Amino acid sequence: MEASDKPRKKNQPPQKPRLINTKWVATIMPISFVLSVVMSYMSNEALNSAGTILSFVVLFFFIALGIVFDMIGIAAASATEKEFHSMAAHRVRGAKEAVWMTRNAEKVSSICNDVVGDICGIISGATGALIVTNITVGLSGVQVVLVSLLVTGLISAMTIGGKAAGKGVAIAFSSRVLAMCGRVLSVLPFSLDSKR
């Protein structure tokens, strides 16, 4: 019996890696909460006494911010770290950070595409609602609906069209995008461990 039990223990299938990284999920949730609060506060402060023109400036800023971070997330997921090894060996500024971004593409894309992208989308919608309120003062019900539909369509078209164009650029020039991001990250007062 003992001899027959041993092969069974050896033939046990290897455990599959967990599909959900619970540690990362537990980390990204408070980060997204803090970023959402900070960005919402900034937009509210900017829009409190803002006119229609400044409201449009804030709207375009958050749409552009969402597009840029979407490009960074796509570039991190499509680039390979081999492109930056020689740069890192020659101590090119930002190369070590670019390697870190490629090795942590899942986390980078999660922060850029999901966290920042979704927050920018929410703030853009709220800003659009405020613009509609400012524009439709004194207008009739039908005119309010038309303005609301136009502003909503404008926000959607710019966001979707911008991200569609940005994805192609990010995939085609992923190394350049990450090299630029790496230079920015290298200036920040913290270092990223390229071994992780």
- Per the domain annotation, does 4 fall within a domain? no
Number of domains making up the chain: 1
More confident residue, 6 or 120: 120
Q: Name the helix (H) or strand (E) containing 103.
A: helix 95-103
Q: Residue 194 pLDDT > 50, yes or no?
A: no
Q: Say what the pLDDT of residue 70 is.
A: 94
CA angle 163, 98, 90 (to 5 degrees): 140
- How far apart, in whole angstroms, are the C-alpha atoms of residue 116 and residue 98? 19
Q: Say what the pLDDT of residue 68 is.
A: 95
More confident residue, 44 or 182: 182
- How far apart, in whole angstroms, are the C-alpha atoms of residue 161 and residue 9? 56
- Per the domain annotation, does 168 fall within a domain? yes
- Per the domain annotation, does 78 fall within a domain? yes
Query: Which distant-in-sequence residues (6+ apart) come within 8 Å of 49 by Cβ?
Result: none
- Per the domain annotation, does 196 fall within a domain? no
Q: Say what the pLDDT of residue 193 is.
A: 56
Mean of the per-residue pLDDT values for the chain? 82
- How far apart, in whole angstroms, are the C-alpha atoms of residue 91 and residue 80? 18
- How far apart, in whole angstroms, are the C-alpha atoms of residue 83 and residue 92? 12
Q: What does the pLDDT look like over 143-171, one tens digit per residue?
A: 888 989 999 999 999 999 999 999 999 99
- Per the domain annotation, does 137 fall within a domain? yes
Q: Residue 118 pLDDT > 80, yes or no?
A: yes
